């Protein structure tokens, strides 16, 4: 605890994901005073056919 979930479009590189979980963990740790080894980060990746804004999927725009 805490548990952080980042939901984003698929396609980020390993380098980006590595930086993402490192920086997000640091941001959470310093702002709510949680020790980093208690912080969990989940990445959830969506594809453009399963994500819509304004009634239209990204894959249809």
> Which residues are known to be catalytic?
2
**How does strand 40-46 pair with strand 3-9?**
parallel
Contacting a second copy within 5-34 (CB under 8 A): 5-9, 12, 14, 16-28, 30-34
18-56 core/surface letters (b: 16 or more CB in 10 A; e: else): eeebeeebeebbeeeeeeeeebebeeeeeeeeeeeeeee
Q: In angstroms, what is the minimal distance from the CB of 47 to a second copy? A: 9
Asked whether position 1 contacts a second copy by CB under 8 A, the answer is: yes
Q: Which residues in this chain contact a second copy in the complex, by CB under 8 A?
A: 1-9, 12, 14, 16-28, 30-34, 36-37, 39-46, 49-57, 59-60
């Amino acid at each position: 605890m805490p548990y952080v979930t980042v939901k984003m479009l698929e396609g980020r590189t390993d380098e980006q994901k590595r930086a993402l979980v490192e920086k997000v963990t640091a941001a959470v740790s310093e702002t709510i005073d949680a020790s980093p080894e208690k912080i969990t980060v989940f990445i959830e990746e969506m594809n453009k056919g399963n994500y819509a804004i304004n009634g239209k999927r990204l894959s249809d725009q």
